[in-house]
Amino acid sequence: MNKTLIIFAFALALAVFLGLRFRKSGDRAESVETFPLTKTDAQWKEELSPQAYQVLRQHSTERPNTSPLNKVKEPGDFVCVGCGNLLFKTEHKFDSGTGWPSFYQPATQDAVGSSTDYKLVYPRTEIHCARCGGHLGHVFDDGPQPTGKRYCINGVCLEFQPEE
């Protein structure tokens, strides 16, 4: 085996090890970070749909192109399905072609928080609700102007409230 292949195999094994280590629920930012709204796991399970619970509380991801919110274009607000916190507005929504509702900015600067996610071995910026800590999705640097950001959000985490 040549030296380059050995180094590559070692780096890959290390990345997988670190990725698996950070996937453990005890290592998530939400386990040490406190939020204004806290509930027990049993309360979340009782109040949320099974799919919303899996995404918001267990950091799962809904299948692409399954959210009816992908097609929403009318003026209104997108709030957290777990706590009602205003997260995004239709005026900041765009079609990213990814299969998930996408926004170029949150409704306010303090609507969402972020942490580093190592689930796919490499680091990504995970987005969570600033009020309840629920996992929403991720933010990437390939969105439209004026921010250049793409907040790729699981639709099951959101409730749309049309403008009156």
- Say whether 152 is catalytic: yes
Percent of the chain with pLDDT over 70: 81
The torsion angles phi and psi of 46, rounded to 5 degrees, stand at -70, -40
Label residue 86 exposed, middle or buried (CB < 10 Å: 0-12, 13-18, 19+): middle
Which entry of 83, 132, 152, 157 is annotated as an active-site residue?
A: 152
Name the domain count of the chain. Answer: 1
Structure tokens at 5: 């292949």
Q: Which amino acid is at 158?
A: L
CATH number of the CATH domain containing 98: 2.170.150.20
Q: How far apart are CA 46 and CA 44, in angstroms?
A: 5
The pLDDT assigned to 117 comes to 83
Sheet containing 86-89, strands listed edge to edge, beginning at the edge strand earlier in sequence? 86-89, 76-80, 158-162
- Four-residue CA torsion sign, 100, 104, 108, 111: positive
Residue at token pair 């777990």: 82
pLDDT of residue 142: 96
**Domain region containing 51:** 3-162
How confident is residue 74, by pLDDT bands cut at 50, 70 and 90?
very high
* pTM, full prediction: 0.79
For the segment 139-163, the average pLDDT, to the nearest whole number, is: 97
Q: Is the pLDDT of residue 119 over 90?
A: no
Q: Is 76 left (phi over 0), alpha (psi -120 to 50) or beta?
A: left
Instruction: For 26-59, write each residue's pLDDT tens digit.
Output: 344 434 578 999 999 999 999 999 999 999 999 9
* 90: pLDDT strictly greater than 90: yes
